[in-house]
Structure 1
């Protein structure tokens, strides 16, 4: 399960309120959380994908994408669509899906009680719980960067989302409208960016001027460490006191750039190489 912590604005000095979300997992695969369970419940009530999608604020396509994902991860049908017939067809839930809704609501109720008790008993619980959720994330991407959505620019097919990092630099990601909608991305929303180390290109930063590259993301920092292997080297670049980006490049490239600790460099990668995610 993962949790989101919400509180009053600092100047109001009001009581801190905790909010949490429950996710069902099977091994390392996440089946779904509150938004997907809400979709299942809406299908149960309306009997149609169109009505359910409208009820939970999803597009028709995003709803079907979520259903396909749930069916695939469950290993058995949760949602069944029938066509034709005397009733004109429709969408129904299997017994497994109906049981899943009831179980989720029961677990969610107990989870809420736990948060209330913990929030009242443990000093600093709100901030610690949110951080534990972030650092506990497992992914094959070496670079896991946390920030807040600074802007969203919609295109014909894709959206361009800018994520402001704690140190002031920005990461840009290109993703589909459906992905933006499914993740609930809006300005100010906390999110994380995943970038594989092999997708990061390093360049010597001599004068700090913008580099003419097709890669949209150009993060400036200094070399923190160079770890050589038989063929490749792992180079850690400190963007600021808290954020580090890692690149995997050849040993020859390390030599050509004369990379050493403290050297200014630019870590560049394409916007299409950035995967965005959120914790509910």
Structure 2
């Protein structure tokens, strides 16, 4: 769906994440009538596609019903569970499309250093690494923005170590508010600024982590999802 990062829309079950590539694989199986033809249409290896279907079925239940060869030549078709999963995913995409671009967190800061397209910026909640346009020099005052769909929120005991993740920007904070939709929830995190840092999560993630107002959390986001524009 235009404007939505592929990795932003996800459905989780038993530690397995169903995302856009998986939805495309199931749709291709439905359209092509077999896993082999679906893999060919998507320019993926059959072995990899087969392994992925097995992984998904271990977490989500039976998704593809295989028919052995015979007069009809055999093939594969989606189960009702798979169609329900695709419906949930499409609904999640539709809801996400309505909110993904609507929520930005913005902090004012000063450029401390530059390294090519990236700048280290000192902001009120802490130091961040952000993409900056040409012409922004060290010492410049900038507005740093990050989209809510790019922010990860985790409980302190579940957050990976800083050197174990590609998300270079990381703050500790406290949950200020949780708002639930049908498939997407919003979490506002107090990181010591006038306005909170906002994040979008699936309701599955909200249920799993059971965030409540006042909980301590760790928020993180990648430098490539962070923009610094001179004021």
Residues in 2 aligned to 1:180 and 1:161: alpha-carbon distance in whole angstroms: 11
Rounded Cα–Cα distance in structure 1 between residues aligned with 2:203 and 2:122: 32
1:219–1:266 CA contact under 8 A, matched in 2: yes
User: Deviation per CA, 1:116-170, whole angstroms, max 9, x where unpaired?
Assistant: xxxxxxxxxxxxxxxxxxxxxxx95521121111222x2xxx3320111124x11
Give the alignment's TM-score, normalised by structure 2. Answer: 0.51
**Is it true that 1:174 corresponds to 2:174 in the alignment?**
no
Determine helix, strand or coil for the equivalent of 1:180: coil
Q: 1:146 aligns with which of 95, 108, 116?
A: 108
Match of residue 164, structure 1, among 122, 128, 132:
122
Which of these residues, 187, 190, 197, is aligned with residue 245 of structure 1? Answer: 197
Q: Which residue of 1 aligns with 2:219?
A: 267
- Give the ranges of 4+ consecutive aligned residues of structure 1 lying more than 6 Å apart after TM superposition: none
Report the Cα distance in structure 2 between the residues aligned to 1:141 and 1:188, rounded to whole angstroms: 28
TM-score, normalisation: structure 1: 0.43
Q: Deviations over 1:248-268 (max 9, x none)?
A: 101111111121111111221
Tell whether the 8 Å contact from 2:120 to 2:128 is kept in structure 1 after alignment: yes
- Residues 1:206 and 2:157 are matched in the alignment: yes
**1:196 paired to 2:147:** yes
RMSD over equivalenced CA pairs, Å? 2.2
Q: How many residues align?
A: 130
Aligned counterparts of 2:193 and 2:151: Cα–Cα separation in 1? 20
CA distance in 1 between partners of 2:109 and 2:193 (Å):
15
Structure 2 portions without partners, runs of 5+? 1-100
Per-residue deviation, 1:210: 3.9
